[in-house]
Amino acid sequence: MSPVTSWTNFTTPKSVAFATNAATLTAAQAVTGVITTSGITGNATLPLPSAADLVAAVPGAQVGTVVALDVMNTVAYTISFGTAATGGTQLSGSVPASSSATIKFVITNPVVGSEAYVAYIV
C-alpha cells in the first residue's frame, strides 16, 4: 500500500462566479487550493471534475495523493456538491451559507484511462 501524500499548489485564491445550478468545478480550479463563491442568487449544486482531468492537473499523482480544496462560501446560499464526473466518487456534503469547508480528493487510481478518486467534504 502506498503512503498517503499531500499535494499542494500555492496560488492566489480563485473567485468562482456561479449561476444557480449551472457551474462545474474544473480540475484547474480544484488544484488552486482555495476558491470563494460570488454571484450566486440561490442554492446551487456544483458538480466535481472528472478523475482524468484531476489526475492530469496534479504532477506526479499516485495512489493516495490528496488534493485539498478549501471552499469559502461568501454568499447567503448553500453550495452542494453533485455527482462527481467520470471516475470520481463523492460523499455527500455541502457548504452552508456564509461558511467554509474542505474537499479532499484522494486519488485511488492515477493510471491513464482508469483514473479514479474519492472526494470527502469535511
Q: Return the C-alpha torsion angle 88, 71, 79, 120, nearest 10.
A: 40
Q: What single-letter amino acid sits at 31?
A: V
The C-alpha atoms of residue 12 and residue 35 are separated, in whole angstroms, by 9
User: What pLDDT, on a 0 to 100 scale, did the predictor assign at position 13?
Assistant: 60
**Among 74, 72, 60, which Cα is nearest to 110's?**
60
Residue pair 53/34 in contact by the 8 Å Cβ criterion: no
Average pLDDT over residues 88-113: 88
User: What pLDDT, on a 0 to 100 scale, did the predictor assign at position 94?
Assistant: 87
Strand segments (E) across the chain? 5-7, 14-17, 34-38, 44-45, 65-73, 79-80, 88-90, 94-95, 99-109, 116-121
User: What pLDDT, on a 0 to 100 scale, did the predictor assign at position 107?
Assistant: 94
Q: Which residues contact 99 (CB under 8 A, 6 or more apart)?
A: 73
Q: What is the pTM of this model?
A: 0.82
Grid cell 489526475 in the structure block, residue: 55
pLDDT-above-70 percentage for the chain: 79
Interval 25-35: pLDDT, tens: 888 888 888 88
pLDDT band at 45, cuts 50/70/90? confident
Average pLDDT over residues 68-95: 81
Give residue limits of the domains in the chain: 5-121
Q: What single-letter amino acid sits at 1?
A: M
